[in-house]
């Protein structure tokens, strides 16, 4: 089953692909990402292109990684159910509870699919908010922009952690492990390059992260 041959899987989970911020240099930077990814050198692909604004680069990549995780998780929606995954875990030691600080202020225990649904809704709301992710050329990024980006990446990591710990065998049976590993490697190299995730947060997949960074 190809990741992109979505077939008859639960279509609700497949959100429309987000596009890079149009008014910024988003489209231009997206072309740069596509070109450097095509070269196969992920370390090169994550670096800030010379002369580019770091916030523009973070913005376009945030959209890109959101889309990647959405597609990856979407292949698992019939297996990652409230019955199979009643809590959002990454192995026996790590459990994630949901809070967005606005509608849900106190962290609540939810099933893995519910957590991912809350998370994707929350990220989408950030990406659609022009005060956070400006669409117009020259519009300023807010002072807390990089903090918002760090929270998005920290939470996207949790989806990867859940997939690797709870659904890796299913990914293997779908013959998608090479794609998952490449996506995760790209994600790790990017977050490491810009110090977006604290080391402690990486603990559930630390051995894998370390092996990626050493290569």
Please give the CATH number for the structural domain made up of 25-213: 1.20.140.30
Domain boundaries, the chain: 25-213
Sequential pLDDT tens for the chain (215 residues): 333 333 333 334 445 556 655 555 566 666 656 665 555 688 888 999 998 899 999 999 999 999 999 999 999 999 999 999 999 999 999 999 999 988 999 999 999 999 999 999 999 999 999 999 998 877 899 999 999 999 999 999 999 999 999 999 999 999 999 999 999 999 999 999 999 999 999 999 999 999 999 85
Residues 6+ apart with CB under 8 A from 59: 20, 21, 24, 26, 133, 141, 145, 149
Query: pTM to 2 decimals?
Result: 0.85
Q: What distance lies between CA 7 and its chain's CA centroid?
A: 22
For residues 159 and 155, give the distance between their C-alpha atoms in angstroms, rounded to a whole number.
7
Q: Copy the structure tokens of residue 35.
A: 């070109």
């Amino acid at each position: 089953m190809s990741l992109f041959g979505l077939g008859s899987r639960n279509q609700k989970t497949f959100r429309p692909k987000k596009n890079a911020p149009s008014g910024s240099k988003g489209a231009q930077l997206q072309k740069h990402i596509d070109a450097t990814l095509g070269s196969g050198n992920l370390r090169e692909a994550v670096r800030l292109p010379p002369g580019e604004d770091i916030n523009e680069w973070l913005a376009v990549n945030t959209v890109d990684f959101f889309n990647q995780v959405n597609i990856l998780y979407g292949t698992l929606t019939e297996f990652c159910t409230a019955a199979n995954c009643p809590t959002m875990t990454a192995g026996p030691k790590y459990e994630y509870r949901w809070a967005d600080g606005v509608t849900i202020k106190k962290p609540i225990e939810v099933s893995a699919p519910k957590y991912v649904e809350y998370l994707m809704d929350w990220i989408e709301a950030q990406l659609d908010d022009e005060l956070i992710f400006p669409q117009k050329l020259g519009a300023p990024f807010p002072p807390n922009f990089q903090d918002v980006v760090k929270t998005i990446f920290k939470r996207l990591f949790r989806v990867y952690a859940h997939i690797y710990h709870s659904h890796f065998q299913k990914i293997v049976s779908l013959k998608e492990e090479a794609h998952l590993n490449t996506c995760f490697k790209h994600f790790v190299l990017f977050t490491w390059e810009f110090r977006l995730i604290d080391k402690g947060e990486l603990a559930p997949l630390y051995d894998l992260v370390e092996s990626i960074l050493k290569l």
